[in-house]
Structure 1
Amino acid sequence: MAFENLSERLQNAIKMFRGSGKITEDDLKAPLREVRMALLEADVNFKVVKDFVTNIKERALGETVQQSLTPGQQIIKIVNDELTQLLGGTQSKLTVADKPPTVIMLVGLQGAGKTTTAGKLGSLLRKKGKKPLLVAGDVYRPAAIKQLQVLGEQLSLPVFALGDQVSPVEIARKAMDKAFSLACDTVIIDTAGRLHINEELMDELRNIKAAVNPHEILLVVDAMTGQDAVTVAESFNGELGIDGLIVTKLDGDARGGAVLSVKAVTGRPVKFVGMGEKLDALEPFHPDRMASRILGMGDILSLIEKIQSTTDLAKALEMEKKLRKDEFTLEQFLEQMQQVKKMGSLETILGLIPGMSGISQKLKEANVDEKEFDRVEAIIRSMTPKERRHPDIINGSRRKRIAAGCGMRVQDVNKLLKNFEESKKMMKKMQGMAKFASKGGFKMPFMNK
C-alpha cells in the first residue's frame, strides 16, 4: 500500500506532541526527529527532508495554540499544510490545446510502464469526454506495438501504428493527420525507452518534440525505484524539458519517496498516479488529498468520486426502495458486492475513509481474504432466480444442491445466508437511524458544522 510505512511513522510522531498554550522547542525535538527519520526511511531526498522539517519547526515554534485545538491538532494542521506544499500544492491539470488535437507525449526509461499508461490515460480522458488516439511510437521494444493495439481493443480506443520499420518521428507526424481524419481531440504518443539515459534516446525524443510540438511531455516513472526516479526526472527535464510526471506502481511502494521529492527537486508536478494493474487504476494527482491520506485523515472526495463513477444511481435508488419494502434480495446483495469490487481493493477503500487507514493493516494481519467476494458470488450464482429472490425457501436439500453446484460446502452456503440476513438487518437499522437524524432526533458526527 502506498506510503504505508511513512503514514504509520508520521502518525506516531504527531501523537508525541504535548504541551499547551505555546509550542516550545522542547515540545518539537523528539517528534521532529521522528518525522525526519520517517521521511529519510521513505527514501525522500535529504535536502527536501531538511527543508521540510525546518519549515514545520519555524511555523510551529512559539505559535499560540488555538483554543479549539490541542497542540497535536495544531501540529497536524501545520504538517498537513507543509506536506501538501511538498507534494505540489494544488492539482496540476493537463494543458488543453486551443485548437485540437491536444498532443501528449509520454517519455521515460524502459520498464516504467509507458505503454500501459498510454492506454490508461486514454481511458481516463475518454471518461472525461475526450476522444483520444493512441500512437505506437516505440519501434524498438519487441511487441510494444502489439501491446498497445491489444490495449486499444480492450478499451475500444483507436490505435495508430505504422509497424517497426518507420521512424518514430514519421509515425508521430502521420498520427496528426490520422487524428484530424478521425476527429480525435487528443493524441497520446507512446515513445521508446532505454535501460538508461543516453544521447541517442534524447536525440530521438527531441526530434519527435520538434515534429509535433506536444502540449504536454509527461515523464513516466516507476515509484518502486525511489530516488532513482527523481534522478531520472532531473535528467529528462534538463535534456528534454518535461511538463509533469506520471508515477506508476504507487500502490506497491510502501515508501513513496519519489512522489514526495520530485516536485521540490525538479520543479515539475506529478499529474497522475498509477494505483494498481487494472486499466482504470490511473488517478489525477491531488496533493491535498494525498497529504490527508498519508496523515491517516482519509480522502472523502476521492471516495465520493469513486462511488459516483462506479455506481448506477437509478439502481441505487431502486435498491433503497426495495430495502424499505423489505424486498431486498440476494440478487441485490450480489449487485451491491459487485459495485464495491469495482471501486477497488478493500484496502484502498478503507484508506480513503477518515480514521480507517490503520484497519487495512489489521486486515492483513488477520489474513482477511478478499477472494471471499468471489466465493460468495459463486454460491449466489449457483442458486435459481427464484431462490435468489426468495432466500427463505432455501431448505436443506436446496442448500446441498447449491453447495455441490459451486464446489463449496453446505456450511459455506449457511454462512452466506446468515450474513445476508444480518446485512439486511444492519441496513434497515442504518436507514432508520438516518431517518431519525433527518428529523432532528440526533446528528451524526459528520453532520456537525
Structure 2
Amino acid sequence: MHVEAHPRYRNDPQAERASELISACVHCGFCLATCPTYLDEADERDSPRGRIYLIKQLLEAGEAGSATRTHLDRCLTCRSCETTCPSGMQYGKLLDIGRGMLEEQVPRPPLERGFRALLRHILSRPALFSGLLKPAQLVAPLLPQALARKIPPRQQPGSRPDTVHARRMLLLEGCVQAAATPATNAALARILDRLGISLEAAPGAGCCGAVNYHLGAHSDGLDNMRRNIDAWWPAVEAGAEAIVSSATGCGSLLVDYGELLAHDPDYADRARRISALCRDAAEILAEEDLRSLKPAPGPGPVAVHTPCSQQHALKQPQLVKQILAAAGFQLSQTQDDHLCCGSAGTYSILQKQRSNRLRERKLLALEAGKPQLIVTANVGCQLHLGEQSQAPVRHWLELLDPAADHGN
C-alpha cells in the first residue's frame, strides 16, 4: 500500500515511519478473521485493515476527525493480526504512531483528556497506585459485590530470599503488579533463588512506559524508558545477566526500547543494550533445569491463558504450557487461545462494554475443560479475568513457587 504524504509531513520522522509500515499491507484481509474488535461487531473500520486505511488517510490528507480517533481507540493492540499477516505488517507500531499523531492534532474534550491523564499518572506511579489500593481493599467487604470484585484482594507474598548468588538478574517490579499482585515477583525471586540466581530490583526504576506510550503520551512514555535505563545501567555494567519481567505486557515494550529511543543520541546505544538483555520469566525458566523446584501437587486441571502480549509480541504461544506440563501439572483443554481477554492495559477501563464482552467469550473458552484454576502471564489479564471467573485466577509462576501450597 503506497502513501502519498501530505506536505505538512515532509521531513517528519514519525510520518515517514508510518508510511514505511503501511507499505507492507497488501489489502488481503486475513487479519479480519483474527481481530477481536472486528469479530465483535463486523465493522471494517474496527479491523486492522480499516484502521490502516484511516491512518493512511490522515497521512495523505494532513488531518483527521474524531471518528478516526474513535476507531483507533477501539483497538486492543493485541497484535493477533501480526501473527496472521502473510506480509509481516507491524501493525502495533503503526497504531502507536497514529495514536500519537492524533493526540497532537485532534484534541480530546477537556473532561476526557483530564480522565486519561489522571489514569496515566495513577497507573504509572507504583507508590501512588499502592496508596489508593490499600484503603480500597480495606473497605471492599462493605461495598456492593459488583464493585468489590473490581478491587483485587490483598495478597501475602511472603519473604524474598536474601542469598547472594554469582548469577544476578535485574527485575522490573512493574507498577500495578507491584501493588495488586505482589505474590508474582516474590514467587519468581524464590524460584530463581532455588536455581542459583539472585533477582535484584534497581532503586529508581518504575513503570516500563507502556501505559503512557500506548495512550498516545509518547513523550511521557519515553521519559519512563529513560529513567529505567538510568536506573538499570550501573547493574548492567556490573554484569547483570538479564532484565526480567514477569508481566508480558511490560516485557513486550521492553524489547522495543532500542527502536523507540533510536533517535535519542544520549540513550540510543544503551537502549539497544537494554532491549537485548530483556527477557520474559518464561524464557529464563525454559533454559534452566527445573527439577530442583519440586513444585507442590497441582490443584487439579489448570487452564492456561496465554496473553496476547506473549503470543503475538513475544512470540511465545506455547512456552508456559510446555513448562507447566513438563513440571507435571495437568492442563485442561481450552478454545480460541488466539483471542484477547479484553484487558489490554487500560482498555478494560476506557472501552468497558466491549472489554466485558470479550472477557465473557474468553472465560467460556477457558472454562470449557472445567479447570480448578486459571493461570496467566500478565497482571492485567489476571485481574480482568479474576473479576468474573468461576475458578481462581493466578500468575503461572505461583505454581512453581518452592513455597507454594496449592492445597490452601
TM over 0.5: no
Bigger radius of gyration among the two: 1
Whose relative contact order is higher, 1 or 2, with alpha carbons under 8 Å and at least 6 apart?
1
| TM-score, L = length of structure 2 | 0.29
| TM-score, L = length of structure 1 | 0.27
